[in-house]
Each structure stands twice: as structure tokens, then as C-alpha cells.
Structure 1
Amino acid sequence: MKVIGQNFYLKITGETEIENTVIDSLSYKQSHIDFNSIKAEVNMLQQKLFQIGYIENEVKPLIKENDSSYLSFFQLKKRYVDIHIYYNEKIVPRNIIEKVTHQINDNYFILPFTDLEKSLYTLNSKISDLGFPFNKIQLQNITIKNNTTLKANLTSVTNTEKRSIDKIIIKGYEKFPKAYLKHYLKLKTNTTFNLSEIKEKTEALNDLRFANKIKDPEVLFTKDSTILYMYIEKAKSNNFDGFLGFGTNESTNKIDFNGYLNLNLNNNLNAGESFNLIYKSDESEQKTFNANLNIPYLFSSPVGTEVGLQILKKDSSYTNVNQVAKLYYQINPQTNIYLGIKNTNSNNLLSDDNAISEIQDYKSNMYTLKFSYSKLQNNYLFNRNLFLAFEIGNGKRKYLNNSENQTSLFIDAFKIFNLNQKNSAYIRLNASSLFSENYLENELFLFGGINSIRGFEENSLNASMYGLVNTEYRYQLSNSLYIHSIIDFSYFENKLTIQKEKLYGFGFGFGLLTKAGLLKFNYANGKNENQKFKFSNSKIHLSLTAIF
């Protein structure tokens, strides 16, 4: 036996055509499954009329026209446009009322009636943020002021003492570094309890590499204390990165291999610290060793430190040893300011008989000022949307019996423009410049390769000043695979050899998220402005970033 449900129909009408227009504008539902649904729809429409100012509206009993049709008759009566609310600054400060209206007098403020419910909710929320989560405000003594205006008194239902955060308890990752609570999230005990601000601040946890927010914070209120519970988990943040590159050596016509290893260790001591180690071997028998240690919030202060050691051996020509020490202050979770010193010691490895005057033993000291800003995004393949680092340095370089003042500039910035879920554009700007009266070959910048202009050998180009632009058009085929174009441009100057040149790099690549990590493949061909394309100049770069 099959049961077929009956449809019921509702028609709502007013006293006049104007009232019918108002009712129809509220878009009530006409078709219903039963009589209870019809009654609920009539009540809902009456509430909507209250909210837009028809507070005196009346509804007559439902009339059954036939077995499936019902008629509801409304009398809308007078509509009130606004309301004058009289307030006491001890209950609601004037600066909070300014959040909902600018029509404020000494003892009352004016609200459009349609904004009344939303405005009262906002006022309650703002009072709660002042440390009074249990205080509720309401309107009393609502009366008619004139044909279009009501008036009422704003009162407080409860009056409790101001609440402060007495204790913060972390669940899930109990060893979460406490300095990050104080200086990164800026959550402290004995401060005013503000739930909206707490939720906003805890969102910054998503920008940390080593920790994630499990769920929103919760609060336990007792008679004499307020305890904040935060739910955090420790995330895998160590990563190992390496690449293998190969191309044809123009001198020997044989394939040369090059590559590097990059190890990042983060928060292994539960202090938010990071350690970075890079070893690189390039095609030109160039060896690079970099080690960098970053320790935030020294002695629970807002100041952190960064120290580094960089060793470069350029075939059998020279070695450079750089020692860097910086102090930095975190303005907010995305922004840091650094003040540091950089010491360089360079040694000429050539024998005296073959000594080249452009390569000399020298020492330099340079004081640096740096600014950095970073913004993340919710995409595992491209988790950083914006990055900016700018550094200026000034100091002296000494060689033989000469001493010269030098100034250096450095900028590295990139931005991802998300066109839609699958398409995006990546643009990066990287530039360095050294200002000096004279130049030595072993103090020039080295660039070229996968991390600068692609299609050229790693660190095969010398410059006293260079600027480069990397661009990629990316198409994300899935959550684990994307393809991209490569269009790079660079301009550099070498004042030692009086050289000015433009370089271009073109190619394509892809990224694949595997169980082992993120595998990247780049194929790029590089040329200068006066050179024709040669496939023999192409470079293939492979890299794999594994997170553990």
C-alpha cells in the first residue's frame, strides 16, 4: 500500500494593497507538508514584521478555505522607523556605542529599528570583551515617542566583577614553548578576559611550522578564577631538501653533475628554535657550507638571536669565511626587525707566482639592519603567499694597507597571485648591490642556478650588482601535482671587469607530492641577450623536500 503525502497551501494577506506589498516582500513559504508547518510560517512572518518596525502588528486566527488551503489575515498597523535609547555610561561606555551608531547625544543614542537586534548583539559582545562575559544588556520601559519613533532605557541584567585570565592550560602539546604564549600569541595571565581577542590571537598558531591549533580555546569559569584551555598539537616541521643537477660542460662536452643538501631542524628542543645546514657542490668545483641557528625569545624576552657561519671555497682560487650574529625583535607574528654584524675573512689560494691582483686576502666588518615580513596561506604545495626581506649594511673592508668604506643592499621578495583554485601566478624579485670605491673578485656576489636565474650553472656568475625576476604560471592538477612555466630575467653589472649584461631563462617544470616528500623537476635554458638558444645550454634540476 502506498501513502501519498498531501500538500497544504498558505496565503497571507493584509488590510490594504500597501500592506500586501510589505508582506510579499518578506517572501514567505506558501507550500507546506502539514498544518504545524503553516502555523510556524505565520509566526516566523510575524517576527520578521516586528524586526522591521511593525511592533503592533496583529494576526487573526487561520481560516481554512478548503481541505488543503489556509488563509492568514494580518493587520500591520503603524511602522516605527527608529528608536531613541537612553543610556548610562557606567553601564555602556560611549566609545562602545560609537561601534553601532554615530547619532549619539549626552544621554541617548538613535538606532534605525531594522538595526536594533544586530546592534544590541554587538553591544553585548563588546561589553563581554571588556572582561564582563556574564553581563547582558536589554531594553526596558519601551514607549512611543511620536508617530515613527520609540524610546527605551538601556539596562544591565547582571552586574558581575571584571574577569581576568588567571591561568592558561595547554592540552595536547604540553611542552609548547611558554615564551610563544607571551610574545607570539600575546596571551598573558592577569590580563582582561576577552574571548573574541583570544580566538583571533590563537589563529596565529596556524602560521607556526611546529604547532597547529586542534580546536578553538575553551574557558572554565569558577567563582573566583578564569582558566583558559588551549588545544594544540605538535606538527612535523623538520625537513630535508636536496637536488641533483646535470648539464653539458662546454669545455669537455661531458655531462657535469652538481647538487646540494639542505637540512632544517625546527623545535626539537621545544623552544621554537631552528637550525639550518646547507652543503653545496657546484659544477665549477665550488664548495659551500652554511650553518645557521635561530633562537627566539631569549630569557623569555621579546628579543631573539640568529648566528651563522658561511664557508665558500671557489675551486683553487680563494676561500671566504663569513660569521654573522643578529638580534631581532618581533613586531607581530609576520614581521621582524634585525640588527646585526657580519665579519668576513677571505684568503687567496693562488700561489704568489700566479697571483691575480683582483684576488686578495681581505677582512671586512659590516653592521646590518634587516626587515622581514611573511604571510602564509592554506595550501600545502605553496604554503607561503607573500614574503619580503630587505637588508642594508655598512662597514669597512681592509686588504694590504688599504681600508675602504662599503655599503651593501639586499632584497628578496615574492608574491603568489591566486587566480582561482587551480591557477596561480608566482613572481619573485631578488637583488643585491655592493657600493665600494674598488672591488676584489673574491668579494663579488655569486648567483645563477635553481635558486636564482634558472638555466645557468649554480653560482657561475659574478656581479657587483645584480637584479633578477623569476616568474611562474602554475596549474594545479590535483592536491599533490602541479605544472608550471619558467620565465626568468636578470640584469647584472661587474665593475671589476666593466661588464653589463642581460640574461634570460625559459623552461618548464612540475612538482609532485610523494610519500617521500615534495619532488620538483625544472628544465630551463639560459642565454644572454646576444646569444642564440642552444639545447646544450639547458639545465635540468631535481630536488626532493622530505618533512619528518
Structure 2
Amino acid sequence: MKKFTFLLLFIYIIFSPKSFGQNLWLNMKGANSDETKTVDSLNYQKRHIDFKSLTAEVNTTQQTLYKLGYIENEAYPIKKVNDSTFSVKIALKRKFNSIQIYYDNTTLAPSMLKSFSKRITNDYFEIPFHQIEAILGGINQDISEKGLPFSKLRLSEIEVKNNRTLHAQLVVDSNQKPRTIDDITIRGYEKFPRSFLKHYLKIKPGQVFYLSTIKRKTEQLANLNFAEQLKSPEVLFSKDSTILYVYTKKTNSNAFDGFLGFGTNEDSNKLEFDGYLNLNLTNNLNFGESFRLLYKSDENDQKTFESNITMPYIFNSPIGIELALRIFKKDSSFTTTNQTAKINYQINPKHRIALGITSSESSYLQSTTSLTLRDYNSNFFTISHQYNNLQASNLLFPVKSHFNIEIGTGKRKTESDSEKQTLLTLNASNIFNLNAKNSIYLRTTGSYLQSDNYFKNELFRFGGINSIRGFEENSLFASLFGIINTEYRYQLANTVYIHTIFDAAYFDNKITSVQQKLFGFGFGFGLLTKAGLFKLNYANGKNENSNFKLSDSKVHLSLTAYF
């Protein structure tokens, strides 16, 4: 039985119709040896199943030679060498290396051609011949993005200029006027504040339709903390209108955070606690507004209350308003109240400038006379510039870069005199991403108050988790200070990271004539949970003239919840 099966299989293989098939071989050559080398370099298909396929390969090779500049190439009749081999001769003739394309500079601006040609005049531009298809496609794309999405290009009156160059006339077929945006439809987050379309993204009806520009602008939605882009914008063209569709999604932008800190009191050697609560509400009215409320109480018997409200694009104008109130109380020594009003202008999604006025009033609470604590009030006119760059894809570190600088000038008044003063504050940070898991965080903050004399209740107060770590909250007073915070961060996962702490600071207190350098060392970790971002920092601080003491270490816990 096995022999019979094997015999049938052998007969099928031998007498199968496919066994009678014959491959045809194609050999192409040029008019001389150099031309033959050029033809061989095209790596044409030599083996074919039939004569039709062989003929099609000759035509394809000719088309390839046309694109390379051999527009005069000529193929002679195919010759049969034997039953399975065919030969064809292709005379390449002259190769044209470039083409000069004449154009109407009222229709096509010479500046548009700079990225396509190195030789441009008001009448023509010259390009390599083999790049004609790609360059004309690029020019047509640029014309389409300038409001003419249905334009077409073609070359006419093609003539030989010399043995290496052709010239032709560029014809732009477009019987339409530039398209403008007639309407904008928002999908996904329909209540997205339209003032942000007009002033933040700078997209509005009536603008000439530039698709690439619109896509670039909508990508700036990533710099908003209350919305994100779902997908690239789309456009619906009709005979008489152009409708733009923008796809957005509302994101959780409200935040509630706080921290609990504890350390040992140097005088009593008892464990003391401090902490704060910080509430941020953003875009709850679908206006893009934000409201911040902070209350802080620390181990130095200091209490801070702050509220801040920002209202962008008032009355659909490019102007926004920011109002702030800050109250600080130092045990039973003094209280200081600061009120701020600013008018800001969003230059683009990342840059904003502001003009403002800050009014301060401080009251000395003791009945005894103090040389360093006095009642006063002051007014400063300020100008500031802010820059923000987000990396929305990173859940742990959404802010890539931040920069804010403010300069103010004004007067401080007491019952007996008036003093001119100048104020400067700086807050800048950046994350240097080494790779997907490793990064270095660098932040610098500083403030300077220029005055002929100083009161303790007007000095800057710093120290703690938000300034130099390893020191008590707001335990340091200075007329000038600068801080550098550094962290090396390693992401164990998308929701977990560990980091080092190295902080350095310099401060100058003109009242006590103290100038010191401070250092903070430690480590910490962060964990993104369903409840929010939990952080733990352990840091130890010292000045340049002291040694480290474990008893001076500070442990800070914080939890930021988004909702």
C-alpha cells in the first residue's frame, strides 16, 4: 500500500502542469559599458514567469531612468536569445541634473521656496532633477496649508536649456479663494472655555485655514492643567464653509494637599509637629479660573493664611486678573497683611507677563518698644514674567520647567519717616531627563529687599519642605537669600520614585549682620496612589560652622489628592 501511495505522488509531481512551467530571463544593457553599469545599478528583476511580466519590467526601468534625469532614454525592441532568455538595449543618452522652474512670484512667495531650493530668483528656482516629485509635493503641501487645500501643481513648457539643465513653467491650478475658518466645534469637553481658543491657542473664526499651524497650536492644550487634546483636529470642507473640529477632554485639576512634619525641639528636647493644608480649585465654573486657599501652622508658633484667585480673559479679552491676600502672624510679636492685585497678559501658552500693585501693613503687637519691630505700611508696583512647560505624559512630574521673576519698587512708611525700597524675587526649576527612569531636578529660589534700613517683620522668612529642607518651617529671616534644591530621581515604576536631597542656601540678615551658608542632605520617595501623590522626605540641615546632628533631622510627610 505504501509503495502504491508513493507511486501516485511521484506521478503527480512528474506530470503536474506546474512542472512544465518555464522561467524567462531578462538581460538589459546600455549603449556602452558605462550605461550598462548604470542599468545594472537599478537592480531590476531578471527572472519572470511570462513575457508580459518581462515587458512590464522594461517599462518600469525606463520610468525609473526618467526620474533620475535620463528623460531621453530609448528602449530598443526586445530580442529573443534562446527559449528562456531575452535581451533589450536601453540607450540612456543625456542625463539632466537640474531643472529651472519659472513661477509667478505674486502667487508663490520666494520665501516659501527657501526650504526647497538653494538657488532662488524672482523669476525661477533651481532644484535637482531627481527631487522634482518630492519638492513639488512639498510646495503643494505648503500652498494647501496656506488656505488652499485643493490646489494642484504641474509643469508645462518643459524645454532643454543645455546638456545638463532643463527649464519649465510652474502652473498652480487653484480657482478658489483662500479658505477661512467659518466655525469651530468642540467635541468631548463641549464646555471648554472658548476664550482659551481665541486668546490662549489663538484660533478663531475668520482666520485663514492653515492646517499645520492649527495642529501645532492645539498641541499647546498639553500646557493646560484642566484639559487635554484627545486627537488631532479635523476639518469639514463644504462648498461655502470650513468647519474646524477640536477634540478635548476635561481632566481632574482640583488638588488638596498637606504635610505633617515632626522634629525635636532644641530647647525642650520634645517632639513637635507642624503642617499645612493647601486647597487648589481650577476650572470648576468652566471659565479657566483658579482659586487657592492655604493655612499653615508650624512649630515656631507661626500661622499663615493665604488666598488667591485668578480670572483669565476677563470679558473675553486677552487680559486676566489675579487677586491675593496673605496674613502672617508670628507668635505674639507681630502680624503682617499683604494684598496684591495684578493684571496679566498671556503672550502664548507658555509665557505670561503681569503688572501689579502690592500693599502691605504690619503691626507690632507688644507694648514694649522694639528697635527691630515697627508698625509700617508699604506699597510696591511690580512687573513679572512667568514661563511654564509641562510634560503631561509623566504622572509623577507633570511640570518640566518653571520660571518666574518679579521686580517691584515702592515705599515703606512709618509714623516718622518714608523709605524707598526695591524688591526682587526669583523662582525657577527644570527637570533634566537622562532617560525614561533617571532624571535630575534642579530648582533655584531667591529674594532680595533693598533698603537703607530694615525691620524684622518685613524680612523674608524661609526654611522647610518648600525651601531648604532639614530646617524648621519659616525659621530663618533674611533681607537677601538664595537657595538651590537638587534631587537625583529614579523611577521604580510609573507611580513610584525615590530621590536624593541636596540643598544649599546663602542668606544675609542686615539687622543681625549675619551671613551664612546652609546645607541640607537627605533622601525621600514618592508614591502615586488612588488617594493622590504621597511623599516622604528625611533631611538633616546644618550651617557652615556646625556639624550634623541626628537630633536635628526633619521628617516631612505630604499627600496631594487630585479630584
TM-score (norm 2): 0.89
* Cα distance, 1:44–1:402 mapped onto 2, change above 3 Å: farther
2:557 aligns with: 542
2:199 corresponding residue in structure 1: 183
* Structure 1 position 513 matched with structure 2 position 528: yes
Hey, what does 1:438 align to over in structure 2? 453
Does residue 1:167 correspond to 2:159, yes or no? no
Q: 2:388 aligns with which of 335, 350, 374?
A: 374
| Deviation for aligned residue 1:342 | 0.5
Please give the per-residue CA displacement for 1:255-309, whole angstroms capped at 9, x wherever unaligned.
Answer: 1111111111111111110111111111111111110000011111111010000
Q: Secondary structure at the match of 1:114?
A: helix
Distance 1:284 1:22, change over 3 A: farther
Matching residue's letter, 1:162:
P
Compute the RMSD of aligned alpha carbons.
3.1
Q: Which residue of 2 aligns with 1:208?
A: 224
Matched to 1:483, the amino acid is: I
For residue 125 of structure 2, the aligned residue among 84, 95, 109 is: 109
- Alignment size in residue pairs: 542
Structure 2: unaligned runs, 5 residues or longer: 1-8, 10-17
CA distance in 1, matches of 2:364, 2:49: 92
Q: Deviations over 1:480-509 (max 9, x none)?
A: 111111111000000000100000011111
Pairing 1:337-376 to 2, within 5 Å after superposition:
337-350=353-366, 352-353=367-368, 355-376=369-390
| Counterpart selection for 1:237 from 253, 269, 272 | 253
Q: Report the Cα distance in structure 2 between the residues aligned to 1:384 and 1:21, rounded to whole angstroms.
A: 58
Deviation for aligned residue 1:58: 6.0
- Give CA deviations for 1:409-437 in whole Å, capped at 9, x if unaligned: 11111111111111111111111011111
Q: Distance in 2 between matches of 1:58 and 1:447?
A: 84
**Deviation larger for 404-413 or 53-62:** 53-62
Q: Which has the larger radius of gyration?
A: 2
Given that 2:384 and 2:404 are in contact with CA atoms closer than 8 Å, whether structure 1 keeps it comes out as yes
2:6 corresponds in structure 1 to none
Say if 1:262 and 1:276, in contact at 8 Å, map to a contact too.
yes
Structure-1 separation of matches of 2:492 and 2:73: 57
Structure 1 Cα separation of the partners of residues 278 and 50 of structure 2? 69
Asked whether the equivalents of residues 423 and 474 of structure 1 are also in contact (C-alpha less than 8 Å), the reply is yes
Cα distance in 2 for residues equivalent to 1:539 and 1:35: 87
1:503 correspondence with 2:522: no
C-alpha contact 2:357 2:380 (8 A) present in aligned 1: yes
> Following the alignment from structure 1 to structure 2, what is the Cα–Cα distance between the partners of residues 432 and 12?
81
- Give runs of aligned pairs for residues 400-411 of structure 1, distance below 5 A: 400-411=415-426
How far residue 101 of structure 1 moved from its aligned partner, in angstroms, is: 2.1
Letter in 2 for 1:234: K
Q: Deviations over 1:143-173 (max 9, x none)?
A: 3322211222111233112211111111111
The one-letter code of the counterpart of 1:150 is L
Residue number in structure 1 paired with 2:147: 131
Matched residue type, 1:309: L
- Separation of aligned partners in 1, 2:100 and 2:490: 57
Aligned to 1:468: 483
The one of 322, 334, 343 equivalent to 1:306 is: 322
1:122 maps to which residue?
Answer: 138
- Going from structure 1 to structure 2, the CA distance change for 1:200 and 1:442 (only over 3 Å counts) comes to same
Aligned partners of 2:316, 2:94: CA distance in 1, in Å?
64
1:472 to partner: Cα distance: 1.0
| 1:12 and 1:23 in contact (8 A); partners too | no
Distance 1:51 1:544, change over 3 A: farther
The Cα offsets for residues 202-237 of structure 1, whole Å up to 9 and x where unpaired, read as 111111111111111111111111111111111111
Residue among 282, 287, 291 paired with 2:298: 282
Residue type of the alignment partner of 1:515: K
Note if 1:384 corresponds to 2:399: yes
| Deviation, structure 1 residue 89 | 2.9
Deviates more, 1:190-199 or 1:11-20: 11-20
One-letter amino acid of the structure 2 residue matched with residue 279 of structure 1: Y
Preserved CA contact (<8 Å) 1:10 1:70: yes
Q: Is the 8 A contact 1:241 1:543 kept in 2?
A: yes
Pair 110,361 (structure 1): closer, same or farther in 2 beyond 3 Å: same
Q: Structure 1 residues 36, 406: CA separation in 2 closer, same or farther (over 3 Å shift)?
A: farther
Contact 1:65 1:71 (C-alpha < 8 Å) held by counterparts? no
Distance 2:358 2:209 in 1: 44
What TM-score do the two structures reach when normalised by structure 1?
0.91
Give the 3 Å change call, closer, same or farther, for CA 509–98 of structure 1 in structure 2: same
Q: Distance in 1 between matches of 2:304 and 2:212?
A: 49
1:156 and 2:177 correspond? no
Whole-angstrom distance in 2 between the partners of 1:308 and 1:446: 18
Q: Compared with structure 1, are the counterparts of its residues 106 and 347 closer, same or farther at alpha carbon in structure 2 (3 Å cutoff)?
A: closer
Q: Aligned pair in 2 of structure 1 residues 399, 220: CA closer, same or farther (>3 Å)?
A: same
Deviation per CA, 1:455-483: give whole Å up to 9, x if none: 11111100010001111111122211111
Asked whether the equivalents of residues 167 and 228 of structure 1 are also in contact (C-alpha less than 8 Å), the reply is: yes
Q: Give the Cα–Cα distance (whole angstroms) in 2 for the partners of residues 301 and 543 of structure 1.
A: 38
Q: SS of 1:332's equivalent?
A: coil
Matched-pair contact (CA < 8 Å) for 1:525–1:537: yes
- Taking structure 1 as reference, are residues 236 and 145 closer, same or farther at Cα in structure 2, changes over 3 Å only? same
Percent of aligned pairs with the same residue? Answer: 53
- Of residues 426-435 and 34-43 in structure 1, the stretch that sits farther from structure 2 once superposed is 34-43
Following TM superposition, by how much is the alpha carbon of 1:243 offset from its aligned partner in structure 2, in angstroms? 1.1
SS in 2 for 1:391: strand
Aligned to 1:531, which of 517, 532, 546?
546
Look up the match of 2:4.
Answer: none
Distance 1:471-1:135 versus aligned 2 partners, 3 A rule: same
Which one-letter code corresponds to 2:318 in the other structure? P
SS, match of residue 203 in structure 1: helix
Per-residue deviation, 1:328: 0.7
SS of match in other structure, 2:212: helix
Q: Distance in 1 between matches of 2:290 and 2:211?
A: 32
Rate the CA distance shift 1:100–1:252 in 2: closer, same or farther, 3 A: same
